[in-house]
Amino acid sequence: MRKVNLILVIFFVIPFFFACSNTNEKTNSEEQKDSLITNNEMNEGEMLTKKYCSACHKMEGNGDQSTNGPRLAAIQKHYKPMYQGKQEFSDSMISFLKAPTIAKVLMPGAVKKFNLMPIIPVPDEDFKKITDYIFDTKFNNNKGNKNKSISVELNNGNKWKIEQELLAYVYEMKEMLTLDTEKNKAEYQQLGKDLFSVMKKCVLYNADNKETEVQIRAFFKGIENNVHNLMIAENPVEAQKLLEKLKNDLSNFENFFEV
């Protein structure tokens, strides 16, 4: 009887063991296939990005910066934290790429420097691969041999002449920063977004001459970065430090500009 039971156990257990083994092999095979598909999609996204974008945008930060648009690393850095995941990032980027407008811009300094980008005729399925590639890629943010940044300076010892409109925008930002009550993370991020909407008007302001515009852009360069950082601040302590920097920077505006 024991012999019969042993034979039955062997008969049922061994096939079950091989079935489990085959299932695991199949799972591993499927995982490898999925990984291969992902890598292929990334490679295709990179090729499409180089095909459609590299004429104006450098992929990363090393080497010559003589391009007609901001680096993709900088675009990722400014845009990615603003959206909840890849799909929202992709949808927003595709919307901008299909119909670039000032209202959709999150890098006004770049627009002022390079102008608003033109519409690029790209198939919808390629747009998605490009934006997914930009979202997923770990770009090298080292700017390498970057051009010397422009510092704001006086106009031969005199202040730069501006219109009342720009000064009003600056006062509006200062007023927003004086409403200094304790806030939670979400409220600080919303304040960053509110500041950004006004700051964008300052950066895109059209002065009477190019020299004045260059100085305005130079003045707001650090402010733009700090406003972006406020929009993604992880905690109130970090947000408060950024607010102090913004207050200090904006307090210097009338040392360089006057109506």
pLDDT tens-digit series, residues 55-70 = 899 876 544 455 689 9
Q: Do residues 138 and 120 lie in contact, with contact meaning Cβ atoms separated by under 8 Å?
A: no
229 against 42, higher pLDDT: 229
Q: Do residues 167 and 72 lie in contact, with contact meaning Cβ atoms separated by under 8 Å?
A: no
- Give the ranges where 101-184 is alpha helix by DSSP (H): 108-114, 124-136, 164-178
209 against 34, higher pLDDT: 209
The mean pLDDT of 150-165, rounded to a whole number, is 93
Residue 34 reports pLDDT greater than 50? no
| pLDDT above 70 coverage of the chain, percent | 76
Q: What is the pLDDT of residue 8?
A: 43
143 against 79, higher pLDDT: 79
Question: Tokens 């039955």 sit at which residue?
Answer: 8
Q: What is the pLDDT of residue 62?
A: 46
Q: What is the pLDDT of residue 40?
A: 63
Q: What is the pLDDT of residue 63?
A: 40
Q: What is the mean pLDDT of the chain?
A: 82
Q: Do residues 78 and 196 lie in contact, with contact meaning Cβ atoms separated by under 8 Å?
A: no
